[in-house]
Structure 1
Amino acid sequence: MSKLISMTAAMTCLAITASAGNDTPHWSLTWKKMQTTGPELELIGTLPTRTTHELGASDWSVGCETLDRDYADFDSYKPYLSELGVTSARIQSGWARCEKQKGRYDFAWIDHIVDGMLEEGVQPWINLGYGNPLYGAEKGLGSKIFTDEPTMKAWLKFVETIVARYRDKVHEWEIWNEPNLGENRTNYDAYASLLSHTVETIRRVQPDAVIIGMGLSRMPLGYTEHVLDLLRERGQLGMIDYVSFHPYHENPDDATPGIEALARLVKSYDPDIRLFQGESGCPATLEWAHALRYYEWNEYSQAKWVARRMANDWMMGIRSSIFTFVDLQYPNMQQSFGLLRTNLFKEVVYKRPSFHTVQHMVNLFRPELRSAGHLNHESNTPRRLTVAGIERQKDGTLVGAVVWQNDRIPSDNLAFEPIELWIEGLSLKDPVLIEMITGRIYALPKYHGHSGDGRMKFTGLPVWDSPVVILERSALPEGTQTRERQISGSTRDMHF
């Protein structure tokens, strides 16, 4: 009898535990592990993670695409938008969802998203793209861009209607998504014509609208040149404010030469047109479809990838949007690009390390700190490094540098390499080290850095294949709390 009572009690305990567990939010094992690793230096603080309401305007954006096809649940992730700290978010217009009967529009679903984002302090920018099967125009990625008069007329009517509806709430409009895919790859005139007519319609309804053109898959110079040639022939180069592109590369740093070439090309046509990295991200697991497939990604390498994509964009002075906020339920698979992990019910399960990465990048790289570009440097590591300067916007003073190993695809290795690094032009009085995924701030002992001959030397500086930031303590974001260094050397010295 006693054995039966014991078994019953045990089963009851298990049931209570299981029931309690169902009401407990899931936590991220990968994020917990990242909190227990790091440079062997003294931890003295953590970057603040302020909300969008607290941060205000910036050049950072997040992808909230595919809501037009119900691949995600906006209400599930809405509460996390302001917490992330980004200023804006990309959504798609969904012509096929808005117009299911010819001439009749239903904008209730997009009203809910636009108003919900504005409540969170996040400014939506809308990608106008994809066709409508009602008019014989396909609505998928790479679908043929329509050129016939009836479909174009219906499209422009839709554009006119949606812009008129949101012109007081939405200020930026992007024309199409990756028009250089599929059979459109060499049909430059189709996109140039669509762009031309669409922008004319937008400008008529909303003269001060910001126009984002292209939405290119990667950085195809030939395609871009052909489209810009056609716009120049029509005297319409001044119609667009940005050329957007999507640099999906397994090593995000491999995209840099192509981005720089695209910038030179666009500038040669019109120096007032800027670049916008409008969509790029990384899976958190091995996938068999979509961008960056057939590579064994995980949540560690994803976080590093996102940090390097953002650091590169910031270094080049380019607006940046990270794809995507949540995992997406495509018809053939659940895509794992999300900063937030979701389940098959489209519910948020937990924040991935990449979510925290974006928070910390957004909180540190504010408009008051701008890029000084590449800094000359020397090091004793065989790995190739990127070293970019950080300067104060108000006076141009060099107050730090961001450093990372750039020569390989981001790995899941959480070890740091101690190196010697000489940085030209840097002279800091009280530098600290920030690891940008966790946002943790470390003391740099006196012997770790000294200035002389116009450069600063760091001995035993911990680096890895994700950005770390050397920054003057006084340049830390407002509200950052750090304690003074307590240990004369690094924690490495305490091990021997």
Structure 2
Amino acid sequence: MKVRTLSVLIGLTICCVTMGADQGKTYRSISWDKFNASGPELKQIGWVATRHAKDIKSSDWSVGCETLDRDQANFSVYKDYVGELGAKYGRLQSGWAKCEKEKGVYDFAWLDQCVYGLDEQGVEPWMCLCYGNPIYKSSIQLGSSLGPVVNSEEAMAAWLRYVEVTVARYKDVVREWEIWNEPFGQGEDYAVMVLATAELIKKIQPDAVILVTHIRDSDRTIVLDALKAAGKLDLVDYWAYHPYAQNPDASYQWVEKTQRQLASYSPKYKLYQGEVGCPAILEWTHALAHYPWTEYSQAKWNLRRMAGDRVRGIRSSVFTIIDLKYPNMLQSFGLIRSNLLHEFIYKRPTFYAVQHMMSFFDDAVIPVGILDCESTSPRKLTVAGFQKAGTSVALMWYSGEIPSDELAWDNVDVTVKGVAFQDPVYVEMITGKVFELDQNAWNSEGGNTTCTQLPVWDSPMMLVERAQIEFRKEATR
């Protein structure tokens, strides 16, 4: 039986924030109100606590802080929210053209604010070295050609000088360097850039971690073969990928195939999900365009991507912390909603969803893998298994379709193999609500757990021992 619970919104605390540029003006997130007014028909006993990045010892979670090099967002507007989110890493783009506006003269003031600002929040910045520079006849935009850089002696020398100065400046704070961003269809030129840039970085910072950015499959083979031919396979550590798919669970067949290819070249190579997210509205261009996304489906999408990455041990970065004002549009991927003036409007529901995942799933939670399960539902059900302090943790969600806008749960009988509980609770990961499970509604025996009439929907919910949950002290947010 499908359970739909959407209570009256009156009396809910409005999710609102005072805008720095318009003192006293507040905005509410209607979708967040609705999420909080909905839920499975279980007895709520509290909310899961969240943690600031400074209070999390270690995790692999990252959040995107991109496009500041092109002034498409304002770092000072969201700096404090990155730490609040609980991400331990933040992706920045270095902005060659913004740093070197006059040949040989560098101004890093803007980038200093970002690098050291993240560090102040307990967030380790990792740097995407990009894009071109008009003073050397190359473009600053996404999709720009590498040819004007790598095929010009002057421009390539200037690029390497810029890399040298940047790495030397930030090497005490930045350990991980990504070379360019998405140079699709430019395998030969990109191979030249990777070899030269990675060698230079390693010379300046021997313990640096090098990421090859997201490229086409055919380009990746070209770069791999070039590294092998040069005897330089060890220059690279991670291969980034950006899996923009309408169903976030549909990417892992490609992931497994790519992992096999990388392993055939070097056993040390790993994938890094370096940039992906979901719009909050129907976008007319860029990734995941031409689909009627909402703040409801966005929150579910991001949680499913995070759960799928985490259970597979893949480092994962959520795109992006705030809406970006592109030259032709205001993009809606942000965990924070902003306006055309780069001002803070409100935290979207996906901010809280991501915050709950990042707060609980730190490095103390160990992935076990996708677990076998049997259920009475005709829909595809995924169960991701983990261990925390020797106890079982399971994330469960419908994974066969694109996340919907429905705030509705199915009551399902399900048996999960390989997990056992003593005193489990149910956590809805978007709102962070914690619910009691009736003792007669579950049973663990022989290393397996059976639940009857368990509320399930197309977003991850968590079964976990009560003792492993830190409950939020305050009653409202």
Deviations 1:61-90 (A, max 9, x none): 100100000000111111211111111100
Which one of the candidate residues 257, 262, 265 is aligned to 1:266?
A: 262
Shift of 1:424: 1.0
Give the Cα separation in 1 of the matches to 2:159 and 2:334: 31
Which amino acid is the alignment partner of residue 268 of structure 1? S
Match of 1:17 in 2: none
- The 5-angstrom pairing of residues 70-469 of structure 1 reads 70-146=71-147, 147-148=150-151, 149-179=153-183, 181=184, 185=185, 187-216=186-215, 220-392=216-388, 397-469=390-462
Match of 2:3 in 1: none
- Answer whether contact 1:188 1:226 (CA < 8 A) is retained: yes
Which amino acid is the alignment partner of residue 210 of structure 2? I
Shift of 1:398: 4.8
Give the Cα separation in 1 of the matches to 2:307 and 2:248: 10
Give the Cα separation in 2 of the matches to 1:135 and 1:422: 62
Give the Cα separation in 1 of the matches to 2:193 and 2:200: 11
RMSD across aligned positions (CA)? 1.6
Q: Which has the higher helix share?
A: 1
Residues 138 and 459 of structure 1: is their aligned pair in 2 closer, same or farther, counting only changes over 3 Å? same
Give the Cα separation in 2 of the matches to 1:211 and 1:467: 32
- Answer whether contact 1:45 1:482 (CA < 8 A) is retained: no
| 2:322 aligned counterpart, secondary structure | coil
Shift of 1:214: 2.5
Deviations 1:270-302 (A, max 9, x none): 111221100000000011111000100010000
Number of aligned pairs?
Answer: 451
Give the Cα separation in 1 of the matches to 2:365 and 2:472: 15
| 1:441 aligned counterpart, secondary structure | strand
Larger Rg: 1
Shift of 1:411: 0.7
| 1:391 aligned counterpart, secondary structure | strand
Deviations 1:384-413 (A, max 9, x none): 011111113x6xx45121101001111110
Match of 1:488 in 2: none
Which amino acid is the alignment partner of residue 46 of structure 2? G
| 1:23 aligned counterpart, secondary structure | coil
Unaligned runs of 5+ in 2: 1-21
Runs of 4+ with deviation above 4 angstroms: 479-483
- Answer whether contact 1:44 1:482 (CA < 8 A) is retained: no
- The 5-angstrom pairing of residues 27-42 of structure 1 reads 27-42=28-43
- Answer whether contact 1:199 1:211 (CA < 8 A) is retained: yes
Match of 1:8 in 2: none
Shift of 1:470: 0.8
| 1:471 aligned counterpart, secondary structure | strand
Deviations 1:208-229 (A, max 9, x none): 111111233xxx4333222111
Give the Cα separation in 2 of the matches to 1:352 and 1:55: 23
Which amino acid is the alignment partner of residue 191 of structure 1? Y
- Answer whether contact 1:399 1:475 (CA < 8 A) is retained: no
- Answer whether contact 1:42 1:442 (CA < 8 A) is retained: yes
TM-score (norm 1): 0.88
Shift of 1:56: 2.8
Which amino acid is the alignment partner of residue 161 of structure 1? V
Shift of 1:57: 2.0
- Answer whether contact 2:385 2:394 (CA < 8 A) is retained: yes
Which amino acid is the alignment partner of residue 212 of structure 1? L
Give the Cα separation in 1 of the matches to 2:473 and 2:442: 22
Give the Cα separation in 1 of the matches to 2:446 and 2:363: 31
Give the Cα separation in 2 of the matches to 1:416 and 1:121: 37
Match of 2:465 in 1: 472
Which amino acid is the alignment partner of residue 471 of structure 1? V
Give the Cα separation in 2 of the matches to 1:127 and 1:166: 13
Deviations 1:4-52 (A, max 9, x none): xxxxxxxxxxxxxxxxx96143221111111110010000121111101
